[in-house]
Chain A
Amino acid sequence: MKLGLVVDLDVCVGCHACAVSCKQWNTSGMSGALTDYNPYGEDPSGVWFNRVRSYEVGDYPQNKTINFPMSCMHCEQADCVDVCPTGASYKRVEDGIVLIDQDKCMGCNYCSWACPYGARELDRSTGTMKKCTLCLDRIYDERLEEVDRQPSCVITCPAHARHFGDFDDPDSNVSQLVRERGGYQLMPELGYSPTNRYLPPRVTRLIPTEDVSKKSLISSVKEWVNKMVER
């Protein structure tokens, strides 16, 4: 098996629900607490497995906002595992999930240097590295309904921008999505062969803006009144 995620950049709305739900599930999961530093202060910070960034692609008017969620890619050629001196970082043979043994990690940060995707974050309170577990404690939990045996981020996503499955199975949902939509890997030139794939935005028509007529006097007054009236 080669388990991983497909992220659909066409429909991601950048709501950060995946990141929040990931944090909620995993803070009481197998990697222990995802510590927050200064949570109610001026600069709240902390450990997250999932981060969403937003980019502008192209120049106006051919531009587009792309919301870009990133978590561990569970690379096939995982350098983070090879460089780990203690053996705390490992890749499971049976399903390809990359994990960190919290009891072995000495917190040297070296694996985070080897990761090009910023998937690993050090928890200062435990002194150990933490990362996405692909919700190992959900996807194999037989007490859950079959439909719930998916990573927390996938179940939560309100836009269905995230899909979980086995990339070794050519008929799985993720393999089909990658085939049909041209799913791609990030930074393939580095040779990490990340398992997770990203689906590019669909090609759509531009929404014309030149033919929008000027506002009439009456519509302007209406708009102003609407703004002034308290609801």
Chain B
Amino acid sequence: MHPAFSVIGFTVASGAGYGLFILLVLAEVYGFADIDVPVALSAGLLALVLISGGLLSSTLHLANPKQAWRAFFRFKTSWLSREGVFALVFYPLALLYLIGVYVNDAQANGLVAFVGLSAVVIALATVFSTGMIYGCLKTIRQWNTALTPTNYIVLALATGSVLLVLILAFAGKDSKTMAGIAIALLALGAMTKAIYYFWIRTVIGPTINTATGFTQGKVRLLDTGHTAGTFLTREFSYQAQHSLLTQLRIVVFALGFVLPIALLAFMILAWSSGWVALVGVFAMFAGITAERWLFFAEARHVVNLYHGAQHT
């Protein structure tokens, strides 16, 4: 699949935003981090900025955005519609929660906690829907697996937790517990991603033989019937060099998981500075952006079989 930067930016930014908000609410309600009003508001606003920026960026890939308002009306069948609805429901809950925290002087109890935890559920539903947009497609075997929504949820939580560590560290709060949680989530993300890469190595699904119905012999493409590219070749035929894919996987693990984990461990053991966390955040976003780019670049749509691919 063609890796469109608007969608890559959307999923990375909004995922981190939802993850940050989820961890903010959980940390505040269950008290595993020292969160006061400035921390809550800055984390909440950063989450909303990331989510909104991501959503706006996702509309950039629409060819006819003036009809985008209609996208909320197929909740019954379409995961894309579900994501839109959940994303919309999240805003009033998130704003109410932040107002409640402000008014209640960072005491998240009673109604404020209820609103916050409702926002957590909706945020998780949104990220799950984002994953299922890709996971439900039977045409792309690399996506049509339970690992797709799993990766989206785990990486959203992991990126969000590192952002919360960053905010806590710059606010001069104790960030050790949060850093520990972030390490656990990053390690979990690295594991699910490793399982995913291992999983998609096995070739399954349709071949050029089942695509054409000639299952008894070798089938080779002689002619595509067009001299220049078509919508199908532009949208689906993207194929990166194998060496680039391998190198980027190293980037994903080195920058996305190993370096942030090492920096967070350094923060716990030695020097709890916001600047260390900032380096970790930059490294992590570079790695996760590479991960999302690979997610698209490695996906092979079955329509490629008709353009001569023997399998997907």
Q: Which residues of A contact B (CB under 8 A)?
A: 14, 16, 19, 38, 42-45, 47-48, 51-59, 62, 65-66, 68, 70, 79, 81-88, 103-110, 112-118, 121-122, 124, 126-128, 184-192, 198, 200
Contacts and interface: CB of A to CB of B under 8 A. Distances in A.
B67 A105 contact: yes
Given A85-B71, A87-B73, 19 more contacts: A44-B227, A45-B229, A58-B217, A79-B137, A83-B136, A84-B74, A104-B70, A106-B71, A109-B235, A110-B78, A110-B133, A112-B235, A113-B137, A114-B139, A184-B213, A187-B211, A187-B302, A189-B205, A190-B302
A86 B223 contact: no
A153 to B, nearest CB: 14
A70 B79 CA distance: 28
Tell me which of B84, B210, B213, B228 has the highest count of chain A C-beta atoms within 10 A of its own C-beta. B213
A108 B80 contact: yes
Contacts of A68: 212, 306
Contacts, number: 183
Interface stretch (B29-37, B57-65, B277-285): B57-65
Nearest to B70: A86
A51 B68 contact: no
Given A113-B301, A128-B64, A187-B210, A121 B231 contact: yes
A16 B210 CA distance: 23
B103 interface: no
Interface in B289-312: 301-303, 306-307
Tell me which of A53, A110, A112 has the highest count of chain B C-beta atoms within 10 A of its own C-beta. A53
A103 B225 CA distance: 31
Interface string B229-246: 111100110000000000
Contacts of A116: 138-139, 206, 301-303
A190 B78 contact: no
A127 B206 contact: no
A84 B64 contact: no
B302 A109 contact: no
A79 B303 contact: no
Contacts of B214: 55, 57, 66, 200
Nearest to A184: B213
B117 to A, nearest CB: 28
B222 interface: yes
B107 interface: no
B202 interface: no
A83 B217 contact: no
A154 B310 CA distance: 30
Tell me which of B81, B210, B214 has the highest count of chain A C-beta atoms within 10 A of its own C-beta. B214
B211 A186 contact: yes
A118 B232 contact: yes
B62 A56 contact: no
A187 B139 CA distance: 10
A114 B133 CA distance: 10
A55 B221 contact: yes
Given A84-B74, A87-B73, A106 B64 contact: yes
A46 to B, nearest CB: 8
Contact of B227 (A43, A82, A115): A43
Contacts of A19: 225
Contact of B206 (A58, A79, A85, A189): A189
A51 B212 contact: no
A100 to B, nearest CB: 12
Contacts of B235: 109, 112-113, 122
Contacts of B81: 85-86
Interface in B39-67: 61-67
A191 to B, nearest CB: 7
